[in-house]
């Protein structure tokens, strides 16, 4: 399962192996020279990672991240929070032909307040449309709102809740929110079922960006096949929060 790697452990980071799920048809992606170049020469935003091939997640990108992000060939950036894009952001978008959309997702801090499913579906519909790929999805820290949207996306893909919860926690710990997990559980993914089928999203392989310094972690053969799935290996700088 995806687990953010801190900057401190970059020279002795764990090598995660994306496992295949026979039911969902996930398979790990192979390392490319472009991915390797980005990882080792440029700075990506904290909590950066692949969701599926062509869909990335991160914290709020800053101007010093633009050089690395440029190499991803982004077509779209979806922002889930308020917060101004500076003139530098606007120039970056224009020079690279990137469309920017802002769809606000509420923080899950009050059990009586939650983002309506139809708003979540607007984001997921963008993610399910491959003409928008490559795209970057981000909030402030890349943990909570982004984690909720990715969790809902995984439901649309057919992941089970234990797997979704594990991925969410890998990005959000030690500041995970039980209400985020509840939000994902309550999300009704049935409305997007036909779109998920027509797009083939259930068989989209989870993204992987390989780090040659990682050590391999072998999956426990006793893990129930129904709970196995592939997941992105994540590269992020230490997140001061």
pLDDT at 221 over 80: no
The CATH number assigned to the domain holding 151 equals: 3.90.190.10
pLDDT at 18 over 50: no
Report which DSSP code applies to 206: B
Beta bridge partners of 56: 50, 136
Let me know if residue 62 belongs to a domain.
Answer: yes
Work out the pLDDT band at 66, boundaries 50, 70, 90: very high
- Mean local confidence (pLDDT), 203-219: 49
pLDDT at 37 over 80: no
pLDDT per position as a tens digit, 156-180: 999 999 999 999 999 988 888 999 9
Work out the pLDDT band at 208, boundaries 50, 70, 90: low
Let me know if residue 180 belongs to a domain.
Answer: yes
- CA dist 145 and 177 (Å) reads 10
Let me know if residue 7 belongs to a domain.
Answer: no
pLDDT at 24 over 50: no
pLDDT per position as a tens digit, 103-125: 999 999 999 999 999 999 999 99
pLDDT of residue 206: 82
| Active site positions, annotated | 139
Greater confidence (81 vs 216) lies with 81
pLDDT of residue 87: 97
- CA dist 227 and 23 (Å) reads 10
Let me know if residue 36 belongs to a domain.
Answer: no
Greater confidence (22 vs 208) lies with 208
Let me know if residue 74 belongs to a domain.
Answer: yes
pTM: 0.71
Rounded to the nearest 10°, the torsion over CA 119, 156, 52, 96 is -30
Let me know if residue 178 belongs to a domain.
Answer: yes
Let me know if residue 13 belongs to a domain.
Answer: no
| Other residues' Cβ atoms within 10 Å of the Cβ of residue 114 | 19
Mean pLDDT of the chain: 77
Number of structural domains the chain divides into: 1
Let me know if residue 35 belongs to a domain.
Answer: no
pLDDT of residue 176: 85
pLDDT of residue 175: 85
pLDDT of residue 173: 86
Range of the domain at 140: 55-204
- CA dist 4 and 46 (Å) reads 9
| Positions of E strands within the chain | 14-16, 49-52, 55-58, 76-79, 99-102, 135-138, 215-217
- Mean local confidence (pLDDT), 82-94: 96
């Amino acid at each position: 399962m995806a687990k953010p790697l801190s900057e401190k452990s970059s020279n002795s980071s764990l090598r995660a192996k994306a496992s295949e799920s026979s039911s969902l048809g996930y398979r790990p992606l192979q390392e490319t020279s472009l991915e390797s170049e980005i990882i080792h020469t440029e700075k990506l935003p904290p909590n950066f990672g692949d969701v599926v091939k062509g869909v990335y997640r991160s914290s709020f990108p800053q101007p010093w991240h633009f050089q690395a992000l440029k190499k991803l060939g982004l077509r779209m950036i979806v922002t889930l929070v308020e917060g101004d894009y500076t003139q530098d952001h606007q120039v970056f978008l224009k020079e690279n032909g990137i469309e920017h959309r802002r769809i606000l997702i509420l923080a899950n801090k009050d059990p009586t307040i939650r983002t309506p499913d139809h708003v979540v579906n607007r984001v997921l519909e963008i993610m399910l449309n491959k003409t928008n790929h490559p795209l970057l999805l981000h909030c402030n820290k890349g943990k909570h709102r982004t984690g909720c949207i990715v969790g809902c996306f995984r439901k649309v893909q057919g992941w089970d809740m234990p797997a979704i919860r594990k991925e969410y926690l890998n990005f959000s710990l030690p500041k995970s929110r039980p209400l985020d997990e509840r939000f994902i559980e309550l999300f009704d993914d049935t409305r997007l079922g036909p779109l998920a089928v027509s797009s083939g999203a259930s068989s989209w392989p989870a993204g992987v960006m390989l780090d040659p310094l990682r050590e391999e972690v072998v999956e426990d053969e006793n893990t129930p096949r129904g709970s196995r799935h592939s997941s992105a290996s994540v590269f992020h700088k230490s997140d001061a929060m």
